[in-house]
Structure 1
Amino acid sequence: MKLLLVEDDPGIARFALRGLAAEGYVVDWHRDGRNAAASLATGSYCAAILDLGLPDCDGLDLCRDLRAAGIDTPVIMLTARTTLQDRLDGFDCGADDYLPKPFAFAELVARLAAMIRRSGMRPGRIAFGTLRLDQIAREAFVGTVRLTLSRRAFDVLAALVQGGGPVARETLLKSVWGSDTEVSDNSVDVYIGTLRRVLAAHPDAPTIRTLRGQGFQLVLKNETI
Structure 2
Amino acid sequence: MAATGAAVIALAGCSGGGAGDEAEVGTTTAQLQTSTQAAQPSPGMDGTPLPEPTPVPGDDREAVELAVEKFTINWACYRTFAQQPQREWFDSWSGLATEEFVQQQRIAFTDSWSWAWNTETQAIGCQRRGDMQVAEVNESTSIARITVERHLYHADARADEGRVESKTYDVAVETDGRRVPLVLGAREADAKAPFPPRLSSLSP
TM-score (norm 2): 0.24
TM-score (norm 1): 0.22
Structure with the higher helix share, 1 or 2: 1
Name which one, 1 or 2, has greater alpha-carbon Rg: 1
Structure with higher RCO (Cα < 8 A, 6+ apart) = 2
